[in-house]
């Protein structure tokens, strides 16, 4: 039996403090190629802090962060991106009035010509955007339309396709279905699975256990900055995951408190 490949990203006992406030403490996380690791938790659970550490926005105070088996301390988002870690935030950071193809290449625009005759290669950007989206199964009506005219689900899918096209090895998605309806959420999850099938290691941050269980291979539950549970898919059911996410015994206590007294 061959040994399991080295994780693309490995966190061991990682913690982060902001003065006296413990935002994250003792978190373990593996991100592997061709797998989706879901990080679940309510508001204030530490999900945003975890994203910032992986994305290079904030350094960790404790524990170890390894990328491709090498211990690192990321100093900036650019450093993370250069190492193949692409983060898609909930607000997407797009320019709504710009066409889809301009947003697709934003910050990485190819040029043609030399010297004073150098200019943006708009034809190449249009064609590359169209073909890159089609490879992910995304068939937009027109890549010249402003990206702000797309639905929230379509914008998320463009961001995922962009990360795949620019060679990301790890894709971190911050609550990609939080503001979407059922149908659009399903579309986004389909492209999250497509990124996994393209060989990327995906970190899906969510508070929705149903969405997580549809696509996830591994599940990490955070509560008040600490790990509440960690499971592989074959070791937990959706009901168990939902119960743990909801607080388990805390939910039972609340149910008893809210129950009506039949004698009244």
Give the pLDDT confidence score for residue 3 in this predicted structure. 60
**Overall pTM > 0.95:** no
Structure tokens at 109: 């625009």
H helices of 4-140, in order, are: 47-55, 77-82, 100-104, 122-135
Structure tokens at 254: 């609340």
Q: What is the mean pLDDT of each run of 10 residues along the chain (264 residues)?
A: 77 90 90 94 87 91 92 90 90 83 86 82 90 84 88 86 89 88 87 91 93 94 90 91 75 64 58
Give the pLDDT confidence score for residue 254 in this predicted structure. 59
Measured distance CA(136)–CA(191) in Å, rounded? 7
Give the pLDDT confidence score for residue 150 in this predicted structure. 86
Give the pLDDT confidence score for residue 264 in this predicted structure. 57
Please report the DSSP string for 103-146 in residue order: HHTTT---EES-GGG-EE-HHHHHHHHHHHHHHTT---S-TTSB
CATH of domain 9-99+166-258: 3.40.50.300
Give the pLDDT confidence score for residue 18 in this predicted structure. 87
Give the pLDDT confidence score for residue 153 in this predicted structure. 85
Query: Could you tell me the residue ranges of all domains in the chain?
Result: 9-99+166-258
**Triad 240, 211, 216: Cα angle to 5°:** 75
Give the pLDDT confidence score for residue 6 in this predicted structure. 84
Give the pLDDT confidence score for residue 146 in this predicted structure. 92
Give the pLDDT confidence score for residue 141 in this predicted structure. 79
């Amino acid at each position: 039996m061959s040994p399991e490949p080295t994780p693309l990203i490995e966190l061991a006992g990682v913690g982060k403090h902001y003065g006296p406030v413990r935002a994250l403490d003792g978190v373990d996380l593996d991100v592997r190629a061709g797998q989706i690791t879901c990080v679940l938790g309510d508001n204030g659970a530490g999900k945003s802090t975890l994203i910032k550490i992986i994305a290079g926005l904030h350094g960790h105070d404790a524990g170890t962060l390894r990328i491709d088996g090498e211990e690192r301390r990321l100093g900036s988002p650019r450093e993370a991106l250069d190492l193949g870690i692409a983060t898609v935030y909930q607000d997407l950071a797009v320019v709504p009035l710009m066409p889809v193809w301009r947003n697709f290449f934003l910050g990485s625009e190819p040029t043609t010509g030399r010297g004073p005759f150098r200019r943006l290669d708009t034809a190449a950007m249009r064609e590359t955007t169209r073909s890159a989206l089609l490879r992910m199964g995304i068939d937009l009506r027109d890549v010249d339309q402003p990206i702000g005219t797309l639905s929230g689900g379509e914008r998320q899918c463009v961001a995922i396709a962009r990360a795949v096209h620019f060679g990301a090895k790890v894709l971190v998605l911050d609550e990609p279905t939080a503001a979407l309806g059922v149908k659009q959420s399903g579309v986004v999850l389909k492209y999250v699975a497509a990124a996994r099938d393209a060989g990327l290691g995906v970190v899906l941050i969510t508070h929705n256990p149903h969405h997580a269980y549809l696509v996830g291979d591994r599940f990490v539950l955070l509560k008040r900055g600490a790990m509440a549970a960690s499971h592989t898919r074959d070791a937990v059911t959706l009901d168990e995951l939902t119960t743990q996410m909801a607080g388990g015994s805390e939910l039972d206590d609340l149910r008893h408190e809210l129950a009506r007294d039949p004698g009244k």
